[in-house]
């Protein structure tokens, strides 16, 4: 099946710093990538949807200036958590989908565990 990677897998940072998370589709072109946040023992909450070459669409309540998303190529999307605070500590998961068909399976990355001290 299709493979999606994320880097880093874990990151610990100080409050006020910025953290960049990369999401790559390794063997297919991802027209659309999705960024989710998952708190312990909770569900996946969609943060934003990004299409290659265009601005990301953010879900209600997600600050676009705090969570910067870039989808510059068909195989790479990045999420930058700016001025991170302890409440931003979470498991961030990306997924990628090829083509425009919404029935196409979303393939998930392994996630990035962010801890803000």
Partner 1 sequence: GENVEQHPSTLSVQEGDSAVIKCTYSDSASNYFPWYKQELGKRPQLIIDIRSNVGEKKDQRIAVTLNKTAKHFSLHITETQPEDSAVYFCAASSSNFGNEKLTFGTGTRLTIIP
Binding interface with partner 1 (CB under 8 A): 4, 34, 41-46, 49, 60, 93, 100, 102-103, 105-106, 108-111
For residue 55, the minimal CB distance to partner 1 (Å) is 14
Of 71 and 109, which CB lies nearer to partner 1 in the complex structure?
A: 109
- Name 24's bridge partners: 5, 76
Collect all residues with Cβ–Cβ distance below 8 Å to 98 and sequence separation of at least 6: 2, 25, 28, 29, 30, 31, 104
Of 10 and 85, which CB lies nearer to partner 1 in the complex structure?
A: 10
Of 49 and 89, which CB lies nearer to partner 1 in the complex structure?
A: 49
């Amino acid at each position: 099946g299709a493979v999606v990677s994320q880097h880093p897998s874990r990151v610990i940072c100080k409050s006020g710093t910025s953290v960049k998370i990369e999401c790559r589709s390794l063997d297919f072109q991802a027209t659309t990538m999705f960024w989710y946040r998952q708190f312990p023992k909770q569900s996946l909450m969609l943060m934003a949807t990004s299409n290659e070459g265009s601005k990301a669409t953010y879900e209600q309540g997600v600050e676009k200036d705090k969570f910067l998303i870039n989808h510059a190529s068909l195989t790479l999307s990045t999420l930058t958590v700016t001025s991170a605070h302890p409440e931003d500590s979470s498991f961030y998961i990306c997924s990628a989908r090829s083509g425009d068909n919404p029935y196409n399976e979303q393939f998930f990355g392994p996630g990035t565990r962010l801890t803000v001290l």
